[in-house]
């Protein structure tokens, strides 16, 4: 009987690898021809991740309480007697109790967590872009300073490191797993090498990355404290080596060369985002005023009709 193996992309929660969900879904049939399972659509994967992260937030849940998308994915994993590819990078933010809940239903499966790690400057830039998409108007330089502050007490830092701190992710995910089955892969910014690296870990070759939408990316990066970045990367590398995990590539190889360049266009983008946010608020206020005036108009119209009827 074939050995059930799950190669599970668990993070970091990085905008630069977010295309994997749609890419895996687009190649589901190609994988199936090789006996490889993608157990859910991109939307189902996201729903399953949210479902698991919400667990234990209302007093504690058990597996019996998780009977939605994640339960269906578990059943599909057990029905497949070969390789399964999972992609839920937002679970890098999960707490230990939530991770235990995720693992309980697939005990006995050979599990291979996979971390696809771009260089830290790229991750910080992607974090800033994510904040812009949420409507934040922070400059890239200020965002980077907050994230790299050793105290990590600003809300931006707390949010970023929850899904990007490799040491924390490994601590939460790997307590009961075989170290040699935990794969940490340093990947470049380009989508094709990221796609190939994930599949290669599972021994899959010959399936090209489909043409799916890629996250928008601003060229250049905000200026970062190179010493601080190198310190963080070195700490991650030590944690990986001490844990005996499978490390592919280097997390420190590019830390001294990836911050050069002007940030003028980034600051200009932040300024533009601020103006867009102001205009959106102004439009929302005008829409609310229009709705108010329209309600008054309809009210007066009804009164006029009543008055006209009575006069007749």
The answer to the question of residue 43 being in a domain is: yes
What integer pLDDT is reported at residue 263 of this predicted model? Answer: 44
pTM summary value: 0.79
Please indicate whether residue 154 or residue 130 has the higher confidence score (pLDDT).
154
**Is 210 inside any structural domain?**
yes
Q: Is residue 80 part of a domain?
A: yes
Is position 84 within any domain?
yes
| Position 24 in a domain | yes
Q: What total of structural domains would you count in the chain?
A: 1
What's the token pair of residue 294? 């329209």
Each residue's pLDDT tens digit, 264-311 = 444 454 445 445 555 565 666 677 777 777 787 887 777 777 767 666
Query: Is 101 a member of any domain?
Result: yes
Which residues 6+ apart lie within 8 Å of 50 measured at CB?
90
Percent of the chain exceeding pLDDT 70 equals: 81
Do the domain assignments include residue 282?
A: no
Determine the straight-line distance between the first and last CA of the chain, rounded to whole angstroms: 89
Q: C-alpha angle 232/236/238, rounded to 5°?
A: 115
In a domain, 285, yes or no: no
Name the residue range of residue 214's domain: 5-119+163-256
87 cis-preceded (ω within 30 degrees of 0): no
């Amino acid at each position: 009987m074939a050995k059930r193996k799950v190669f599970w992309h668990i993070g970091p929660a990085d905008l630069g690898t977010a295309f994997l969900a749609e890419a895996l879904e687009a190649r589901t049939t190609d994988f199936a021809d090789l006996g490889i399972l993608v157990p859910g659509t991109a939307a189902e994967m996201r729903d399953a991740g949210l479902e698991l992260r919400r667990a234990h937030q209302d007093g504690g849940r058990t597996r019996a309480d998780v009977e939605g998308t994640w339960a269906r994915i578990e059943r599909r994993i057990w029905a497949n007697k070969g390789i399964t590819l999972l992609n839920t990078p937002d679970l890098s933010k999960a707490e230990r109790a939530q991770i235990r809940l995720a693992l309980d239903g697939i005990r006995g499966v050979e599990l291979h967590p996979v971390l696809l790690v771009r260089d830290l400057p790229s991750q910080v830039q992607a974090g800033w872009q994510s904040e812009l998409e949420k409507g934040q108007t922070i400059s890239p330089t200020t965002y980077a300073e907050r994230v790299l502050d050793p105290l990590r007490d600003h809300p931006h830092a707390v949010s970023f490191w929850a899904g990007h701190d490799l040491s924390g992710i490994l601590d939460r995910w790997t307590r009961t797993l075989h170290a040699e089955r935990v794969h940490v892969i340093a990947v470049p910014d380009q989508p094709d090498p990221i796609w190939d690296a994930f599949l290669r870990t599972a021994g899959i070759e010959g399936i090209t990355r489909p043409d799916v939408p890629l996250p928008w990316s601003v060229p250049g990066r905000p200026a970062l404290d190179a010493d601080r970045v190198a310190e963080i990367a070195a700490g991650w590398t030590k944690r990986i080596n001490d844990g005996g995990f499978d490390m592919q590539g280097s997390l420190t190889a590019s830390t001294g060369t990836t911050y050069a360049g002007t940030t003028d266009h980034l600051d200009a983008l932040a300024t533009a985002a601020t103006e867009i946010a102001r205009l959106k608020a102004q439009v929302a206020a005008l829409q609310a005023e229009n709705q108010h005036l329209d309600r008054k108009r309809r009210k007066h119209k009804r009164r006029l009709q009543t008055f006209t009827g009575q006069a007749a």
